[in-house]
Amino acid sequence: MPLIALTGGIASGKSTIARRLASHGAVIVDADQIVRDVQAPGGAVLDAIAEEFGADVISDAGELDRAALGAKVFGAPDRLAALNALVHPAVRAESQRRFEAAFAEDADAVVVYDVPLLVEARVDDPWDLIVVAYAPASVRLRRLVELRGLDEASAQARIDAQVPDERRLAIADEVIDTAGSEADTLAQVDALWERVRAR
């Protein structure tokens, strides 16, 4: 019943790796989806965010206005820390609940936590394996511009806002090099799956 953390910088191919692992039978727990779930209308986290950052971060429909909130925390480390203090404990509790549910359903499950902010928030958790999706920043910048339609300055700002690659690579048990073709990435994931199942 391995619990695997899968992390990587923006546009590093993490989603491609997660989809491939899911196709092999891994249970994927998506940290970004959990963040959206705990910030949903009616939840304590959304109310706390409104109290901390003002009612203007809530849309007319009663949902979190991510752009408005982003404008308040981007480039403001103290405000980002305040947001994280509200969100991270709820995400941690919900992710733990989902891990336990997956293992309760199948004691031999391979559970993969797809988590962008592993280094920042969860590196000391008891993972059986930490997998890092890696492509050089120059490759990720090109992907953000060509595939996601960002201008170069915005793309660079998003890369710069994350921890440097060196910090992610320093905690990796396995590195999937995603700089090449998708077929090459998938072949590495398949080989990783075989190693995990053999353990």
**Which of 74, 107, 140 is the endpoint of a domain?**
107
Long-range contacts, 120-129 (Cβ 8 Å, 24+) = 120/163, 121/84, 121/88, 121/92, 122/5, 122/92, 123/171, 125/5, 126/3, 127/3, 127/4, 127/5, 128/2, 128/3, 128/4, 129/2, 129/4, 129/5, 129/173, 129/174, 129/196
Place 157 in a pLDDT band, splitting at 50, 70 and 90. confident
189 touches 21 (CB < 8 A): yes
Residue 100, pLDDT score? 96
| Owning domain of residue 48 | 33-107
Q: Mind listing the pLDDT tens digit for each residue in 41-90?
A: 988 899 999 999 999 999 999 999 998 998 898 878 899 999 999 999 99
Residue 197, pLDDT score? 92
Q: Mind listing the pLDDT tens digit for each residue in 79-121?
A: 999 999 999 999 999 999 999 999 999 999 999 999 998 998 8
The radius of gyration of the chain from alpha carbons, rounded to an integer in Å, stands at 18
Q: Say if residue 44 is in the same domain as residue 142.
A: no
* Mean pLDDT, residues 165-188: 97
The pair of structure tokens assigned to 182 is 């998708």
Q: Mind listing the pLDDT tens digit for each residue in 183-196?
A: 999 999 999 999 99
SS3 of 11-67: the string is CCCHHHHHHHHHHHCCEEEEHHHHHHHHCCCCCHHHHHHHHHHCHHHECCCCCECHH
**Which of 107, 128, 161 is the endpoint of a domain?**
107
Q: Say if residue 47 is in the same domain as residue 115.
A: no
Q: Say if residue 95 is in the same domain as residue 169.
A: no
Q: Say if residue 101 is in the same domain as residue 122.
A: no
Q: What is the DSSP letter of 162?
A: S
**Which of 107, 136, 156 is the endpoint of a domain?**
107
Q: Say if residue 99 is in the same domain as residue 120.
A: no
Quote the number of domains for the chain: 2
Contacts of 167 (CB under 8 A, 6+ apart): 119
* Mean pLDDT, residues 9-34: 96
- Whether residue 161 has pLDDT greater than 90: no
Q: Say if residue 62 is in the same domain as residue 120.
A: no
Residue 158, pLDDT score? 87
Q: Say if residue 100 is in the same domain as residue 44.
A: yes
Residue 171, pLDDT score? 96
